[in-house]
Amino acid sequence: MSSHPVPQDLPTRIQHYIDGKFVDSIDGDTFDVLEPVSNEVYVKAAAGKKADIDLAVAAATRAFQEGPWPKMLPRERSRVLHRIADIVESRDARLAELESFDSGLPITQALGQARRAAENFRFFADLIVAQADDTFKVPGRQINYVNRKPIGVAGLITPWNTPFMLESWKLGPALATGNTVVLKPAEFTPLSASLWAGIFEEAGLPQGVFNLVNGLGEDAGDALVKHPDVPLISFTGESRTGQIIFGNAAPYLKGLSMELGGKSPAIVFADADLDAAIDATIFGVFSLNGERCTAGSRILVQRDIYDEFVERYAAQAKRVKVGYPHDPETEVGSLVHPEHFAKVMGYVEIGKDEGRLVAGGGQPEGFEFGNFVAPTVFADVKPDARIFQEEIFGPVVAITPFDTDEEALELANNTKYGLAAYVWTSDLKRAHNFAQSVEAGMVWLNSNNVRDLRTPFGGVKASGLGHEGGYRSIDFYTDQQAVHITLGKVHNPTFGKQDPAAEENRPTDLEDPDPR
């Protein structure tokens, strides 16, 4: 194995950050963190349990009930968020270096994710000052307005693919709206998350507003989900974990946002711009090492162009540059962890029985160590194949032919997932009609996954519940209290008005009610 550089000044241990202080776990427990090129332990991280979550939630609750953050003007909070964005931007190279080292993501892509994290804060900083709420007037009778309020302590549970960026996606709107938070980052990749505390302190976020507890999902994550003082859980991760969290949160009737797994189709019709479609579908499944929830990991290709597509696609996939994560030339780095590597390699072996291997199929030449996987392409994959149905979350793609639009749609919808879909055709009518019928939370027509932060993000079926993105994130992290005000005469249906005693003394019609 060749050597690869280790970032300068790596922390010697990773701690929790609770109520403005870095702390170890109460029981002193730690877990090993590996770097994915050598799979060697490079640092130990504090392994949080229920007791640590209790402390973090207590700090966040205090900061919410007694601290200034929820009561600050949106403009004041916005300034803090912009400062956070400035700091993240100014440290993008360091963030990318650490993220790439910890996760195995190629450095150029980790840099893009660091900048996106800054952009997420800037976006919500802008949105919160532009936020307007509804007012409804019934002329002369009533005004009704929406009083938007932060909810309390938000529990944020995040995965290991693009960890820093995905954390920013939740932290940005949760903080912009005045909540306080407890973040439980993924245990495979705790390094970049440990930088938030310093960034937030420098930007002037009040003490206790941000708390971080590291640890395993079934310990720290579970305790956060089951904590009665955490009314909101925003979770991104596997569909199976989402189901468990859904069940565990049910007795507390928590607000849940679930961004889950995917097995998204890219549908290439014969009339598509083939060069663009090939470039996009290569990038769509091999970028971020294929560890991408919206990866177009099933490519459905119309039969007329199928053979040409497969041949060109396989040739290009073989040219995708696998390399060390720190190398700016690298297009596919090392998968995050040996456990995940074993899972992906398991699917590569399954695929050899289920499809025709036309590229990859193991570790790439010169990288027969660590968690490197060659971009792997299977053609002629049947819809009942496991590699067609199950999320692999690595650089592995299944290609399947189709004849008609109806068949393409049937194949596209033939999984339990429904996160994204990509359609390649030059027929506008077909593209829009396909978008209407495909079971996916997000559709890109003749486009790669390029996201406008204002649009809804989320999946249908097993890919998620609820939408985040733009105002939907603001909605998730706030209560919209309706306030009703009478303007004119009070219109009351009067129950219980007839007092029998008053009835007896009431003047009869024979008496003069007005003795003047």
**Which parts of this chain interact with ligand NAD (CB under 6 A)?**
157-161, 166, 184, 186-187, 217-218, 221-222, 225, 236-238, 241, 244-245, 259-262, 293, 391, 393, 419, 459, 464
Pick between residue 178 and residue 296 the one whose CB is nearest to ligand NAD: 296
Task: Decide if 313 contacts 282 (C-beta within 8 A).
Answer: yes
The closest of 494, 325, 295, 495 to 398, measured between CA atoms, is 295
Three-class SS of residue 379? strand
Q: Is 259 a catalytic residue?
A: yes
CB 489, min distance to ligand NAD, A: 52
DSSP-derived pairing of the beta strands 298-302 and 265-268: parallel
Q: How many Cα atoms occupy the beta-carbon half-sphere of 258 within 13 Å? A: 25
* CB closer to ligand NAD out of 148 and 184: 184
Instruction: Quote the CA–CA distance of 184 and 47 in Å, as a whole number.
Output: 11
Closer by beta carbon to ligand NAD, 177 or else 241:
241
Amino acid identity at 124: F
Q: Shortest gap between Cβ of 451 and ligand NAD (angstroms)?
A: 11
For ligand NAD, give the closer residue by CB, 240 or 506.
240
CB of 139 to ligand NAD, least distance (A): 45
Distances (CA, A) of 6 to 98, 195, 328, 332: 9, 17, 15, 19
For CA atoms 138, 142, 147, 151, give the dihedral sign.
negative
Closer residue to ligand NAD, CB minimum distance, 105 or 379: 105
**How many angstroms separate the CA atoms of 116 and 226, rounded?**
31
| Least distance to ligand NAD, CB of residue 245, Å | 5
**One of 259, 331, 391, 439 is an active-site residue; which one?**
259
Nearest CA-CA partner of 434 in 408, 396, 411: 408
Determine contact, residues 192/98, Cβ cutoff 8 Å.
yes
Contacts (Cβ under 8 Å, ≥6 apart) of 138 = 144, 487
Kindly tell me which of 176 and 225 has the beta carbon lying closer to ligand NAD.
225
**Helix residue ranges per DSSP H, 418-514:** 428-437, 471-476, 500-504
- Asked if 113 and 93 count as a contact pair (C-beta separation under 8 A), the reply is no
Residue 151 CB, nearest distance to ligand NAD (Å)? 19
Smallest gap from Cβ 41 to ligand NAD, in A, equals 18
Query: What positions carry a catalytic annotation?
Result: 259
